[in-house]
Amino acid sequence: MISRRTALIAGGAGVAVVGGGAGAIAVANREKPEPPSPPSTRDGKVLWRNWSGIQHSYPAQRLAPKDEGELAAAIKAAPAPVRVVGSGHSFTGLIPTDGTLVTLDGMSGITGWDGDKAQVMAGTRLGALGPALAEKGRAMANLPDINKQSLGGALGTATHGTGRTLKAVHGDVTALTLVTAEGKVIEADARRRPDVLAAAQVSLGALGVITRATLNTTINRRLKRQVWVEPLEESLAKAEERWARHRNFEFYAVPFTGLAANITHDETDEAATVRTPSQDDAFLEVLRSLRNLLGFSTGMRKAAAKALLGSVEPETAVDEGWKLLSTERPVRFNEMEYHLPAEVHLKVLAEVVALIEKERPDVFFPIEARRVAPDDAWLSPFQGGERGSIAVHAHYKDDYRLLFELVEPVFLRNGGRPHWGKLHSLKAPQLAALYPRWGEFLEVRRELDPDGRLLNPYLKALFGVG
């Protein structure tokens, strides 16, 4: 959305405006990364760490099974807690364990077809699934913003894209295979254990290890991607109409700029074009420079941002959907995302932006707004009605406590449900009030893992166990 040359110009312009003033230094000095964890312990246990660096552990054992039989045999004797990791892109404490860490990287690929339904191994990365489906002329109906996740990880955390009529990834699952902590293999679909299917579509890895899933697919169509920057007020005013009109629509409210970046994707018969390399990292560097140099003055910061970014040229690209819907995210961050009832979605977004601009000049990451169709999975944040998502980010070197202290209370007052892979503070009592099928999920969990061998301390608090 912005060239690297413009990013460099922005840095120079900021210096010229501020003249190296000391007022900006206090904001820049908020960047205080946590000290690195040792790569191993004295007894030889090797460090596992998530993508952003805020979760880590030293598992006593690691498993990398090649098939369900090997997994079922090994998991029975594996030291607990047993946790399964995909790409490590979740920010919550879902994965850390001093017991057994399982990776399904050796269990990937499409293993079969039933009409237009594909049977996919849970270790398959979403980025690899796109071209594999395309070979058969098929595609996933939608994709999340980041495609590095494994299919199993995406299902476990209710990972989603955007689109008023498009469900999260788990909404297209019609059957799945689950290996329990006792090594039992369960096949679940609408006829065989429909309760397990409804619970396991979004299960946080608490029922067993999902090894494969059957997914509905769609025709692989070209999409036209359009990206443009406009005043935030205009984006807020037109968002509902855009969600109704476009296959995919999302926008990013950019605090301290008065601007928003909008993205649409629509089916097209136009010829494919070459997509220019993503400039998101350069865009972020501009925003970070403005934060560091002009953070002491909201007025000056907004004026500089509008001058530098307000006239950015729109971007257009045409290609197959799996090539366009997801984006590379090289800049690390920590994130909180809540899913709000559609009727309060935009009101809450405007409130969050205003609150951040009033209280936290250190924030510079854009705030993402998406819309997701409902589904019936018991722990789906989208269960029971259309929801709007708001994702607030903090640079991985910055203090992210503002997400809990400033932003989360706004989400909770408005009936928000947390993204299972993103930061939140909720425990069993609050979650039980948000999910009508919470009790039924816990019953299935107790049946499939009566000894709690899949529960690490984080999940025990989440489910009210012990």
CATH number at residue 125: 3.30.465.10
Which of 103, 136, 169 is at the close of a domain? 103
Which of 85, 103, 121 is at the close of a domain? 103
Q: What pLDDT does 25 receive?
A: 38
Q: Tell me how far apart the alpha carbons of residues 113 and 136 are, in angstroms, rounded to a whole number.
A: 10
Instruction: Please check whether residues 132 and 261 belong to one and the same domain.
Output: no
Q: What pLDDT does 34 receive?
A: 65
Q: What pLDDT does 186 receive?
A: 98
Instruction: Please check whether residues 194 and 279 belong to one and the same domain.
Output: no
**pLDDT, mean of residues 112-138:** 97
**pLDDT, mean of residues 178-195:** 97
Q: What pLDDT does 282 receive?
A: 84
pLDDT band, residue 7 (cuts 50/70/90): very low
pLDDT band, residue 125 (cuts 50/70/90): very high
Question: Which DSSP string corresponds to 48-77?
Answer: EE-TTSS-EE--SEEE--SSHHHHHHHHTT
Least reliable range by pLDDT among 14-23, 51-60, 128-137, 193-202: 14-23
Least reliable range by pLDDT among 18-27, 103-112, 216-225: 18-27
Instruction: Please check whether residues 346 and 231 belong to one and the same domain.
Output: yes
Digit-coded pLDDT (tens) for 441-461: 999 999 999 999 999 999 999
Q: What pLDDT does 13 receive?
A: 43
Digit-coded pLDDT (tens) for 376-408: 999 999 999 999 999 999 999 999 999 999 999
The DSSP bridge partners found for residue 337 are: 391
Instruction: Please check whether residues 92 and 172 belong to one and the same domain.
Output: no
Q: Tell me how far apart the alpha carbons of residues 294 and 27 are, in angstroms, rounded to a whole number.
A: 9
Percent of the chain predicted with pLDDT > 90: 86
Selection from 419, 412, 408, 415 nearest residue 385 by Cα: 415
Instruction: Please check whether residues 232 and 292 belong to one and the same domain.
Output: yes
Residue 303: inside a domain? yes
CB atoms within 10 A of CB 137: 11
CATH number at residue 264: 3.40.462.10
Q: What pLDDT does 279 receive?
A: 74
Which of 219, 234, 254 is at the close of a domain? 219
Domain of residue 401 covers 4-16+222-418
Residue 364: inside a domain? yes
**pLDDT, mean of residues 398-420:** 97
- Name the token pair of 313: 């040229």
- Name the token pair of 164: 């008023």
Q: What pLDDT does 328 receive?
A: 87
Mean residue pLDDT across the chain: 92
Q: Please state, in angstroms and as integers, the Cα–Cα distance from residue 382 to each residue in 22, 109, 358, following that order.
A: 47, 28, 31
Instruction: Please check whether residues 272 and 380 belong to one and the same domain.
Output: yes
**pLDDT, mean of residues 114-133:** 97
Task: Record the pTM.
Answer: 0.93
Question: Which DSSP string corresponds to 92-104?
Answer: SSSS--SSEEEE-
pLDDT value at 246 more than 50: yes
Residue 293: inside a domain? yes
**Residues in Cβ contact with 349 at an 8 Å cutoff, skipping those fewer than 6 apart:** 236, 253, 367, 369, 388, 390
With tokens 């269990």, the residue in question is 107
Residue 126: inside a domain? yes
Residue 443: inside a domain? no
CATH number at residue 59: 3.30.43.10
Instruction: Please check whether residues 157 and 242 belong to one and the same domain.
Output: no
pLDDT value at 16 more than 70: no
pLDDT band, residue 277 (cuts 50/70/90): confident
Digit-coded pLDDT (tens) for 312-358: 889 999 999 999 999 988 899 999 999 999 999 999 999 999 999 99
Residue 374: inside a domain? yes
**pLDDT, mean of residues 27-33:** 54
pLDDT band, residue 280 (cuts 50/70/90): confident
Number of domains in the chain: 3
Question: Which DSSP string corresponds to 234-260?
Answer: HHHHHHHHHHHHSSEEEEEEETTTTEE
Selection from 158, 154, 120, 156 nearest residue 138 by Cα: 120
Question: Where are the strands (E) in 237-342, listed by range?
Answer: 248-254, 259-267, 315-320, 333-341
Question: Where are the strands (E) in 291-414, listed by range?
Answer: 315-320, 333-341, 367-372, 387-395
Q: What pLDDT does 31 receive?
A: 61
- Name the token pair of 290: 């403005």
Q: Please state, in angstroms and as integers, the Cα–Cα distance from residue 59 to each residue in 50, 81, 287, following that order.
A: 13, 9, 38
pLDDT value at 15 more than 50: no
Q: What is the Cα 184 distance to its own chain's centre?
A: 30
Q: What pLDDT does 30 receive?
A: 56
Instruction: Please check whether residues 116 and 84 belong to one and the same domain.
Output: no
Provide the 8-state DSSP code for 172: G
Instruction: Please check whether residues 300 and 410 belong to one and the same domain.
Output: yes
Residue 456: inside a domain? no
Q: What pLDDT does 232 receive?
A: 98
pLDDT band, residue 21 (cuts 50/70/90): very low
pLDDT value at 8 more than 80: no
Provide the 8-state DSSP code for 206: -
Instruction: Please check whether residues 316 and 350 belong to one and the same domain.
Output: yes
Digit-coded pLDDT (tens) for 249-273: 999 999 999 999 999 999 999 999 9
**pLDDT, mean of residues 95-114:** 98
Digit-coded pLDDT (tens) for 42-87: 898 999 999 999 999 999 999 999 999 999 999 999 999 999 999 9
**pLDDT, mean of residues 197-216:** 98
Instruction: Please check whether residues 123 and 91 belong to one and the same domain.
Output: no
Residue 402: inside a domain? yes
Instruction: Please check whether residues 264 and 358 belong to one and the same domain.
Output: yes
